[in-house]
Amino acid sequence: MLISKSATLQSAFNSHLFNAANLFLIHLLFIKLVNTATIANGTPCSLPPDFWCDHPDVALACTGSSVYCDGYKTNRRGRPLQMHLAFESACPDSQQFVVHRLYPKVLTRREAAQSVHCHHGNRLLTCAMLHYQNDDQKKNQLLYCFMQKMMMRGDPNVIIDQCLNQLGLPAHQKDSISNCGRGPQATDLQKADETETSKILSTPRFVPFISINGVGHIHMQAHQMILNEKVKAWDSTVKVNH
C-alpha cells in the first residue's frame, strides 16, 4: 500500500511539474517541514509543504485532505521569506548563482535584501561584509562586484580592493579591512561562518546551497534558478486563493 501510494503521488507530482512548471516549480521551500511519516522518504511529502500545497492531488496524497494546505496558505500570507546561502567565492557555480541569479533576481529587490545572509567567502570578503553589516545595499553591491570579478579568475586581494574603490570606501577604512583579513578576526569570522554553514548544508555537501525559513533539503537545490519567480508566484497564489 505504501509503495502504491508513493508511486501515485510521484506520478501526480511529476505531471504537475510538466504541465505547470512556471507556477509549481517556484512554489517551494518557505515553511518548516511537517510530519509526513506515512509517506516514504524521497517523495514530495518529505519536502516542505510549499512544494505540494499548490496542487490538490499532491496535497491530498500528503495530508489526506485540503484542510492543512488551506490553513498553510492563510498562515503564510504576508510573511517575509528568509533565505540563507552557503557559497564558496572561488567556486564557478557559486559565482554564476550570485551574479546571474541571486543579485539581479533577489538582492536588487529592496524588501528582500535584509533576509539574505551568506556564509563561506574569502577572508577579505568576510571582513568587508562585516564592515557593511548595517548597509544592505552596499553589502549586496560588494558581493555582486566581488563574485563577478572572481569569474575572471583574478587575485581576490586585488578584486576586493577594486570593489571597495567602486563603493567609494576611504583608504583608511580599506586598510582596516585588510588588517582584518590578515589577522585573527578573519579566522574567528570564518569559524563562525563554518558553524552557520554546517546548519545549512545537507549531505552530500556542495555549494551553492540555499536554505529557506530554516529549511534546507537536497531536492530544493535544483530550484535555485527561479528565485525571483518563486517570490512573485507565492504572493500571487496567496492572493488568488484567499
Structural domains of the chain sorted by starting position, each given as residue range(s) with its CATH number in brackets: 2-78+226-241 (no CATH), 83-211 (3.40.30)
Please list, in sequence order, all residues whose beta carbon lies within 8 angstroms of the beta carbon of residue 64, skipping any fewer than 6 positions away: none
pLDDT of residue 118: 58
What is the full per-residue pLDDT of the chain (242 aa) written as tens digits? 222 333 333 333 333 333 323 222 222 232 222 222 233 344 567 666 766 776 677 778 877 777 888 887 777 776 666 677 777 777 777 777 777 777 776 677 655 444 455 555 578 888 998 899 888 889 889 988 988 888 887 888 888 999 999 999 999 999 999 899 888 888 888 778 777 766 666 554 666 777 766 666 555 555 555 555 555 544 544 443 33
pLDDT of residue 147: 86
Cβ atoms of 76 and 233 within 8 Å: the answer is no
pLDDT of residue 119: 53
C-alpha cell at 230: 518563486
pLDDT of residue 227: 56
What are the distances in angstroms from CA 212 to CA 3, 54, 131, 160, 233? 30, 18, 25, 28, 16
What are the distances in angstroms from CA 147 to CA 28, 101, 111, 160? 26, 12, 22, 10
Write down how long the chain is.
242
Cβ atoms of 93 and 160 within 8 Å: the answer is no
- Cα torsion 204, 207, 208, 210: sign: positive
